[in-house]
Structure 1
Amino acid sequence: MNWISNYVRPKINSLFSRREMPENLWSKCPECGTMLFHRELRDNLNVCTSCEHHMAITPRDRFADLFDGGVYTEVAVPEPVPDPLHFRDQKRYPDRLKAAQKKTGEHEAMLVAEGEMGRTPVIAAAQDFTFMGGSMGMYVGNAIIAAVTRAVELRRPLILFSAAGGARMQEGILSLMQMPRTTVAVEMLREAGLPYIVVLTDPTTGGVTASYAMLGDVQIAEPGALICFAGPRVIEQTIREKLPEGFQSAEYLLEHGMLDRVTHRKAMRDELITITRLLLGLPPAVKGDLPAPTDVAALPPAQSPAEPAEPSAEPEQTA
């Protein structure tokens, strides 16, 4: 036995060999290229500490920051018919769904929850762009209708965070049908006299922008968010002209009257609390001494409580 070659040399090599760094410890900002430590980025709500670029954030992380103490209850969403068109391109549609579920740990592209925000009970829905581009399919339509139904039932405002690449092509016309379905659902909130606040995040495009994402009583966007129906590249290729700098960004839309506010993600919770209580006719919340939620229960009852069940039942039979 060669003692030096069999023991000493491997020991020395192990001491000086380069250790591999886990890939999930660092993230690169797509805007400025800065490498960000994962804990620092998470504590800053996925906002770059160097250039303030707002990166994608999961619905659960968003709700953890939105609700008091990060406590919320998920709202059940009816399951649609799986793979109704038996769609197949390079992969089968069910295989794409399974891959997205494994990647994100979520069942679908939208999460609906109820809880208190500044001691004000609210219903919230958020899209997950990492799940097949946050595409709007039958499940997303069912999720919005479930959120609206729950909001009308409990007499609570609805806050929706949009992030989508548009309709889900694997569901064809059934995906496009979610545009009128969700529009009717938003009208239910209006008839019940309940606030509907939309927060548009990067990106919000396609059929989502053409339906529920632009129907809010108040339209708020995160800085730098792309908000459009057709993207800038498609428009440039169609009209063969150079578009203005920052065209279809949140700041551009605010300047041209399409949005009410552009709010930094770290200030979003306080902004939503203020706007929600203002729309409900409640006194402003005071930090450290927030009012009890009992005053929200004093809202007048809905004019026709039996109505919420009808829109949610009809579209499910159509789908």
Structure 2
Amino acid sequence: LFAATRYRLDDADYLLLAAHHLLVDAMSWRILIEDLADALADAPAGAAPLSAPWRDWAMALSAADAGPERAYWEWITATPSRTAPEHGYDETEILTLDLGPVPAGVSERGVLAGLLARLGAALADRDGCDEACVTLASHGRHALDGALDVSRTVGWFTAEYPFRLVCGASPGAIEAALHDVPSQGVGWSVLRWLGSDPIAAAEPAIAVNYLGNVDPAAEAPFAISDRLPGVVASGLRRARAIELEAWCSGGRLAVAIRHAPRCDSPAAIRRFAALISRTPSAEPPQGWVSPRTERSPPCLPASAIASAIPFLPRCR
């Protein structure tokens, strides 16, 4: 489930960390990178505080009562939502946008709100809708009872939940709506998958996942390499027309739009991306600029890149 290998190449030394998704999520990688930096700096063992094990979190979720949230989630899922036919990841393509610099001091929730404002404006222009139900993702480490601390636990905690996006709303209004989501979406997962009376809801056709700042700390004795592309197992199935995965690196916001030509033509996606690129007229995030666009193949066969990346066969 986890492997680490050091490679000594001509330009530099590389450490490949390969982990099954059951073991890590985006926040877990941050924790592992921080621990690696501490180890390389000879920081004393136990310098970072420990938090509860993943098993305790899983058991707590199984026993959790999210009933008080039910009315909220039923209201959210009553929003009309476009759906998409199921298809494989090998049928998808990626369009990458550079949305420019993120203003200093903007919180991660504020960055997400700005991105959702762009998305809402794009949906209003494209579909003529006033509201849309989209899937969002949180780090999922919010305990329903507030008692369990898993802030530095490594594991797969990500919680996906539906969000009612008011198209044309300002970033400030969207940020307030994000603040009002109970338990950061964890309660939805409990009601949808663990409850005795699960909420029935269609899968929204659009999902947004903001990963936050993916850069290591400035004082870290290493940098994250981009030599290894993200190869997705072609057998995986998906039921979303569009997935937006966003992250901040080097102070700039990037968005990868994964889409399926059977749901939206490449020309339609380019038009949609151009709409997202526009800064909403209400409360624009100051300094965001028009993007650079790059098309990336998401499902490359290993044979096509193994010659360029000598350590690829270890990452399966």
Task: Decide which structure has greater helix share.
Answer: 1
Normalised to the residue count of structure 2, the TM-score between the two structures is 0.28
Q: Which has the higher strand share?
A: 2
Q: If you compute each CA radius of gyration, which structure gives the higher value, 1 or 2?
A: 1
Q: Scaled by the length of structure 1, what TM-score is found?
A: 0.27
